[in-house]
Amino acid sequence: MIIDKLYETVQKKGMVCVGLDSSLDYIPNGIKNEYQDVDQIIFQFNKRIIDATGDIAAIYKPQIAFYEAYGLKGLKAYSRTLEYLRAEGHLSIGDIKRGDISSTAKMYGKGHFEGDFETDFITINPYMGFDSITPYLPYVESGKKGLFVLLRTSNPGARDIEYLESEGKKIYYHVGDKLAEMAQEFKGECGYSSLAAVVGGTHVDEAVEIRERYKDLYFLIPGYGAQGAKGEDVKLYLRDNNGGVVNSSRGIITAYKKHEDGLERFEHYTREAVLKMREDIGFEG
């Protein structure tokens, strides 16, 4: 199953997920000057990041909004990036956060698990109800695809809804409990399920309880670096340096901007950022 492949990759390479939030503002002028079209500029930026980190990053997560913002050419760069990741044998998460029901969700599944935007995992939003998840499950059942379902997110506004209480427990626990029940059907040999969860790393107070409560759920953990979570914080959501991948976007892809020679050594500082992140979280590879 796809979750076994991710688990094994984390064992070998560490838990870093590289977020490809590839805004033109983040891209070195050298790349912008070398290529004329937006799709070429963004793709070449992504390619250089992937080539610099492919042996030390577990998975890559392009956030589709950063590509949609540039129209058809942006989406071409998104598609080319996913195609390149497949060709190089790397895993990918399409960060699309779709949340709809019935035939609409079915078509989202077709759009992002097949064709031009095919990826290994996608992120989805369950807060319209669990019938917004079920149309994707045939892909998960095949063993070839996985879902990261929003459970408790890393943004401050998570408290507006996710932390409200109903029947004596927080809303995100209602989501997590149902998700954990559904996940039992899709467990891999590693003990985790391909029906996985997004758990923000910026809230540490309940980290131990969440990890203990959802033993079978694999986590995508955003919030490290620019959003404020530290290595010691996100490590609480892991188990033996596995059980989740920790995402960093700007902290990796704009690391070169912190150095005077960053433009000349873009790949070096990108790779260095991933290595430092792995060490900070505690990977011993």
Q: What residues act catalytically?
A: 97
Whole-number Å distance between alpha carbons of 260 and 282: 29
Whole-number Å distance between alpha carbons of 169 and 252: 36
Return the beta strands (E) in 32-120 as ranges.
59-62, 91-98
SS3 246: strand
Element (H, E) at 247: strand 244-248
Structure tokens at 99: 């949340």
| Residue 186: DSSP 8-state | G
| Residue 228: DSSP 8-state | S
SS3 187: strand
Whole-number Å distance between alpha carbons of 168 and 235: 28
Q: Considering only CA atoms, which of 149, 111, 146 is closest in space to residue 130?
A: 149
Q: Provide the terminal-to-terminal Cα distance of the chain, rounded to the nearest Å.
A: 24
Q: Considering only CA atoms, which of 52, 33, 49 is closest in space to residue 41?
A: 33
Contact 85, 91 (CB under 8 A): yes
